[in-house]
Amino acid sequence: MSSKVFKLIEKEKKRQLIGLEMIPSENYVSSDVLKALGSILTNKYSEGFPKARYYGGNEVIDKLEIYAQNLANKLFGTKYAFVQPYSGSPANFAATMAVCDPGDVVMGLALSSGGHLTHGANLSFSSIFYKAVNYTVGKDWKINFEELEDLAKKHKPKLIWAGTTAYPFKLDYSKFRKIADEVGAWLVADISHISGLIVGGVHPSPVKYVDLITTTTHKTLRGPRGAMILVTDRGYKKDPEIKGKIEKAIIPGLQGGPHNHQTAAIAVALEEALKPSFKRYAKQVVKNAAVLAAELGSKSENHLILLSLESYGYGMGYQGQVALEAAGITINKNTIPGEPVSPFYPSGIRLGTPALTSRGMKEKEMVKIAGWIKEVLEEIRGLDLPKEQELRKEFIKSVKVKMKKNPKLKKIRQEIAKFASKYPVPGIDS
């Protein structure tokens, strides 16, 4: 037994128990998901797909993967499901490979407007191997569909992404569909953040509007780290050979043997998502986010809040993240639409309610937590980011030292530890 590794695991367990996990892409899995993820299924090599493997001894694995596929199709109402992608970015790469040739035009929401790296950001495969065109949000922080339509007509994309990673509003898939039809593009919904909300009935489903769907399984869906690609009836009618194209993109295109323990854990999570209790969970996530956003002077229609810290000073996102972490609240710095500084030193923070809701917290707890957040953020006033880039690294180091020593934050951290310890963390014996 590695005493070093397991001591570190225990430290992380304590951190999760006494802190408030508010990164909107993080959540807690059940004990059953953890059991499947840590099972002997990790021992088996299964390159290929059910009943078409390169290795022997996959009779049980075939049944397991087919079961996971069937659960996904039942849950989302889709025709085909692929549960082998290792994570969200590889799933998006595989979906792109299946319908595009290198050099084709792909369109997605700009990273600075709340889009994802794989939807056309610089340095991502989506702009290295394809010609990426980005649409943006307007002054109201909502997707500018007029701009999207104009860009689509001008550039004639082969693929349009309808997906976000820091976008607090519901998506209107019918508008995406209209534009995709005008230019003959594949329409792919990346629902990684909101898949749990969709199956929970608190966010519109893209299934009848889009051709393909990609999603991670570890956010609001409360599964292990992994991903899925789903084909809708519309997508199948567009190209009856799409199933084989996606299979080839996954293997040999991008990866080898699937992680069978991960597939099993995904299946467990999908079983759990089919239960009535999951719908109650999803509804509470959205209720909690709405209350938290209102208390912080913002708005949310889903599970996350994108909060500008411009009223606290210049380039305050990093300082906000550092201060909140020192107080026992984990969030992430994030760009805001029209970001005036930079992606690494942004002007906002991103936070959400999926993990807190998994611990049983409701509206009254959100009000209390919002109070702590506002208290913490007051401690960063006056700590404006230097406008000289060469000074920023040392400045952030000094901020980390200041926040760690800050007596107000130490007091709040103790209060939060006492508060959080009352709410059990799924999968952890407190």
- Is 116 labeled as ligand-binding? yes
The percent of residues above 90 in pLDDT, for the chain, comes to 98
With respect to residue 160, please indicate whether it lies within any of the assigned structural domains. Answer: yes
- Domain stop point among 230, 245, 273: 273
Nearest to 332 by CA among 217, 375, 343: 343
Which three-class secondary structure state does DSSP give residue 79?
A: coil
Report residue 148 as tokens: 């999207």
Residues 251 and 285 in one domain: no
**115 annotated ligand binder:** yes
Nearest to 356 by CA among 400, 420, 309: 420
Q: Are residues 355 and 252 in the same domain?
A: no
Structural domain span for residue 402? 276-420
Where does a domain end: 246, 273, 300? Answer: 273
**Integer Cα distance of 34 and 265 in angstroms:** 7
How does DSSP classify residue 345?
S
Tell me, what CATH number does 92's domain have? Answer: 3.40.640.10
Q: Are residues 412 and 331 in the same domain?
A: yes
List residues bridging with 227 in a β-sheet.
216
Fill in the amino acid letter for 357. T
159 in a known ligand binding site: no
Residues 262 and 313 in one domain: no
Which two three-digit tokens encode residue 210? Answer: 């889009």
Q: Indicate whether 264 and 362 sit together in one domain.
A: no
Residue 213 lies inside a defined structural domain of this protein: yes
pLDDT digit string, tens, across residues 154-190:
999 999 999 999 999 999 999 999 999 999 999 999 9
Mean pLDDT of 53-73: 98
Domain end: 273, 303, 338, which one? 273
Are residues 287 and 361 both part of a single domain?
yes
Q: Radius of gyration of the chain from Cα atoms?
A: 22
356 and 338, same domain (yes or no): yes
Q: Decide if pLDDT at 430 tops 50.
A: no
**Residue type present at position 239:** D
2 confidence band (pLDDT: 50, 70, 90): confident
Using one digit for the tens of pLDDT, what is the confidence trace for 99-146?
999 999 999 999 999 999 999 999 899 999 999 999 999 999 999 999
| List of E strands, 164-232 | 186-190, 212-216, 227-231
Instruction: Determine whether the annotation assigns residue 276 to a binding site.
Output: no
Average pLDDT for 364-369: 98
- Residues catalogued as catalytic: 45, 47, 190, 216, 219, 225
Q: How many domains does the chain have?
A: 2
The reply to whether 195 and 332 lie within a common domain is: no
**351-375 b/e (C-beta count within 10 Å ≥ 16 → b):** bbbbbbbbbebeeebbeebbebbee
From the number of C-beta atoms within 10 Å of its C-beta (0-12, 13-18, 19+), residue 164 rates as: buried
Provide the token pair at 90. 């590889």
Supply the pLDDT for residue 268.
98
Instruction: In whole angstroms, give the CA distance from residue 323 to residue 409.
Output: 8
Residues 204 and 352 in one domain: no
Query: Do 319 and 374 belong together in one domain?
Result: yes
β-bridge mates for residue 49, sequence order: 52
Three-class DSSP labels, 350-370: EEECHHHHHCCCCHHHHHHHH
Q: Is residue 181 part of a domain?
A: yes
386 is in an annotated binding site: no
**Residue 113 is assigned to a ligand binding site:** no
